Structure 1
Amino acid sequence: MLTLTKAILRGATIGAVGLIAVSANAADISGAGATFPYPIYSKWADAYKKETGVGLNYQSIGSGGGIKQIKAKTVTFGASDMPLKPEELDSAGLLQFPMIMGGVVPVTNLKGIKPGEIKLNGTVLANIYMGEVTKWNDEQIKALNPGVNLPNTAIAPVYRSDGSGTNFLFTDYLSKTSPKFKTLIGANTSVQWPAGIGAKGNEGVANMVKQTEGSIGYVEYAYAKQNGIPFLAMQNKDGKFVEPKITAFQAAAANADWAGSKGYYVLLTDQPGAESWPITGASFILMYKQPQDAAAAAEALKFFAWAYEKGDKLASDLDYVPMPPAVVKMVEKTWGESIKAGDKPVWTASAQ
């Protein structure tokens, strides 16, 4: 099996290819969706396969594709970084729960620029993606970066061309910080970008940025880290410039009110706090409350329970934020109460 680093550096188009190269069998778990959590799902899948012999076939096709596939009942679970609203969950007979948290980071390809050397705020970042700021030495960027030798290089915005939760988190943040962006483009898994270059998946955006001088893109942090792409520092809601790292993601995640949010519908973008990274988000799992294949659903929940219990270090190593123990208890209680075959729970803690 390719290592995660090699897979990302090669920009593998995962599509219908499983996370790990395993022979398909009845015990394998099927899922599809977000590319945001792909690096950690890959790590978990590899470790879980070695421990249990059960494989995970996950199609990293974007949140929009994951939502479509779970609604079409072609996979046991879907994964999305855009949480579905409670009314949509109810109408589809779905349950959602948060699996992991992390950060979306702006990345760039500019000669001589070190990671974090260029600082932006949400307004200027929105203006870049609206095609209004077109050069790296534009006055708006200069004002935020006194003393930085900004080149007279054209900015090439790179965006996600597929329906994705990364798109949603990024556009949700820009919509919160730029009223004009909210009106003209808005927040969604797929939007009409007025300028730039489209690329598929976090993998595709990372590779396009690496190949394009003067580019700017946005990817889940693990992709920036694994590919060695310089990130930009961002001004957060408290007016502080912060760099992407696990403590900054944790600071934003600390504000989450999971217990008070129906259907675990929580958005973590533009959170207050001096240390908070402004484009933080959770990745969610979608499953049916009355699954067609109860055994397959039980296998999936066993994997997620294992990841909650044993996957924290693997997650932290990739700068994801594991779900807090209190949230895990809430989620597992929800599984027992809501995911059933007839009137019997598909999963129980004692079955682990």
Structure 2
Amino acid sequence: MSDGTLLPRVTRAQFLKSVSLAAVGLTIPGIVGAAHAAEDVTILETGSSLLYPLFNLWVQGYSKIAPTLRITTQSTGSGTGIAQAIKGIAQIGASDAYMAGPQVKKNPTMLNIPLAISAQNIIYNLPGLNGSALNMSGPVLAGIYSGKITNWNDKAIAALNPGVALPNHAILPIHRTDGSGDTFIFTQYLSKSTPEWASSVAFGTTVSWPAVQGGIGAIGNPGMVQTAAQNPYSIAYVGVSFLAQIQAAGLGVSPLQNKAGKFVLPNPQTIVAAASGLIDSTPADQRISLIFADGEMAYPIINYEYAIVDSKQPSAALAKAIKGLLTWAIDPTGGSTGDYLSKVHFVALPDKIRMQSHARIATIAA
């Protein structure tokens, strides 16, 4: 069971000082109102179901600034978002995962641009215990998804939850069947916390899931929540932007064991704590894993939410429109205010990463 020590509080001053992730700070001159499309232009954004709710909020807000710009959003999974951006079918591929090295080498004009920081919930449907906040760890989750831990009362789960009456019932692990950034960051957590998983299944937007009796496949974050709600004794991984749906379905959310051995839930403080030590490590191309970071408060599954965009666009008008939308999205007086990010439980980029992203956006041209 979790207790009050799992979620230590920080003051507002400490929070802002840590990594400047609140929606305040330096405003990049000319971002808001800059680079808006003068002509009628259409932008297709497709990909991450985790980022999809935020893009819908952004479209509503940005339409007041650029009313002639037409933006279509689709929730198709990060793998599809990356693929369609590379092919030029979509102008913005939304992804929880950065492009893989071979993809980058083959497509050198593609940009991986962080827009915000998000996290992932581990959810479960355990009759009578959904309000108990059952602790989970990387090795236990790897055991469940590899088929080595099959029952809820397994001693490994019991050891993380002393005093909890766990049922003698088979576990139903749910995984994504579409190319998914959520799968990417979930399997990264398993890989970084469990060497055996790293050497066998490893990580990716798609993986060869071990055959597990009772295992269930689902599509998108909505499908993961719905499947978990419909299947008692199941467990799943779902992006934080679907917390309202998780709560509405009455599902449990697990505190996760971090690198320091503490059990924490995702919230602004624990997301900031995880990101703070990795900001300076973010490379120029901005492709970096934020998984399993150091720190007692650090939540172990966080990530940059990426826009995958071709720096070489077919027209000046389209390049201008994409730049306008993305620069507004990352601005702390635009799309990165709490009015947008808090609704999906995301955290704004720190100043250093926002300036990095702005520089990358500025390279988009015809």
What secondary structure is seen at the aligned counterpart in 2 of 1:291?
coil
From 42, 46, 54, the counterpart of 2:60: 46
Q: Deviations over 1:101-120 (max 9, x none)?
A: 11111101112224462101
1:29 matched residue in structure 2:
43
Q: Deviations over 1:238-258 (max 9, x none)?
A: 011111222211211112235
Query: In structure 2, how many angstroms separate the alpha carbons of the residues matched to 1:38 and 1:115?
Result: 28
1:212 matched residue in structure 2:
231
From 114, 128, 131, the counterpart of 2:144: 128
1:308 matched residue in structure 2:
330
Q: Deviations over 1:32-59 (max 9, x none)?
A: 1111211211211122224432342122
Counterpart mapping for 1:1-352 below 5 A: 26-53=40-67, 54-85=69-100, 88-92=103-107, 93-115=109-131, 117-194=133-210, 195=212, 196-228=215-247, 229-257=251-279, 260-309=282-331, 310-311=334-335, 312-313=337-338, 314-336=340-362, 338-341=363-366
State the Cα distance separating 1:223 from its structure 2 match: 1.1
What secondary structure is seen at the aligned counterpart in 1 of 2:306?
strand
Query: In structure 2, how many angstroms separate the alpha carbons of the residues matched to 1:82 and 1:258?
Result: 19
Query: In structure 2, how many angstroms separate the alpha carbons of the residues matched to 1:48 and 1:143?
Result: 49
What secondary structure is seen at the aligned counterpart in 1 of 2:115?
strand
Equivalent residues of 2:79, 2:181 under 8 A apart: yes
Distance 1:87 1:289, change over 3 A: farther
Equivalent residues of 1:156, 1:197 under 8 A apart: yes
Q: 1:265 is matched by which residue type in structure 2?
A: R
1:9 matched residue in structure 2:
none
Query: In structure 2, how many angstroms separate the alpha carbons of the residues matched to 1:85 and 1:68?
Result: 12
Distance 1:116 1:321, change over 3 A: farther
Distance 1:234 1:260, change over 3 A: closer
Equivalent residues of 1:39, 1:222 under 8 A apart: yes
Query: In structure 1, how many angstroms separate the alpha carbons of the residues matched to 2:40 and 2:87?
Result: 20
State the Cα distance separating 1:78 from its structure 2 match: 1.2
State the Cα distance separating 1:260 from its structure 2 match: 4.8
Query: In structure 2, how many angstroms separate the alpha carbons of the residues matched to 1:42 and 1:118?
Result: 32
Query: In structure 1, how many angstroms separate the alpha carbons of the residues matched to 2:74 and 2:351?
Result: 28
Q: 1:318 is matched by which residue type in structure 2?
A: V
- How many positions carry a matched residue from both structures? 316
Q: 1:209 is matched by which residue type in structure 2?
A: A
State the Cα distance separating 1:225 from its structure 2 match: 3.1
Q: Deviations over 1:295-351 (max 9, x none)?
A: 123212211222222222110232101112332222212332x3222xxxxxxxxxx
State the Cα distance separating 1:233 from its structure 2 match: 0.9
Does 222-231 or 147-156 show the bigger shift?
Answer: 222-231
What secondary structure is seen at the aligned counterpart in 2 of 1:152?
coil
Q: Deviations over 1:46-99 (max 9, x none)?
A: 222244323421221111101110111111121222212566435312112101
Q: 2:361 is matched by which residue type in structure 1?
A: W
Equivalent residues of 1:86, 1:263 under 8 A apart: no
Query: In structure 1, how many angstroms separate the alpha carbons of the residues matched to 2:41 and 2:280?
Result: 32
Equivalent residues of 1:118, 1:233 under 8 A apart: yes
What secondary structure is seen at the aligned counterpart in 2 of 1:149?
coil
Query: In structure 1, how many angstroms separate the alpha carbons of the residues matched to 2:93 and 2:280?
Result: 20
State the Cα distance separating 1:259 from its structure 2 match: 6.6
Distance 1:328 1:40, change over 3 A: same
Equivalent residues of 1:246, 1:316 under 8 A apart: no
Bigger relative contact order (CA 8 A; separation at least 6):
2
Q: 1:184 is matched by which residue type in structure 2?
A: S
Give TM-score, length-normalised by structure 1. Answer: 0.85
What secondary structure is seen at the aligned counterpart in 2 of 1:285?
strand
Structure 1: 4+ residue segments shifted above 6 A: none
Q: 1:52 is matched by which residue type in structure 2?
A: A
The alignment-based identity, stated in percent, is: 33
Query: In structure 2, how many angstroms separate the alpha carbons of the residues matched to 1:271 and 1:129?
Result: 22
Q: 2:151 is matched by which residue type in structure 1?
A: K
Alpha-carbon RMSD across the aligned residues, in angstroms, is: 1.8
**Structure 2: any 5+ residue segments left out of the alignment?**
1-38
Q: 2:133 is matched by which residue type in structure 1?
A: E
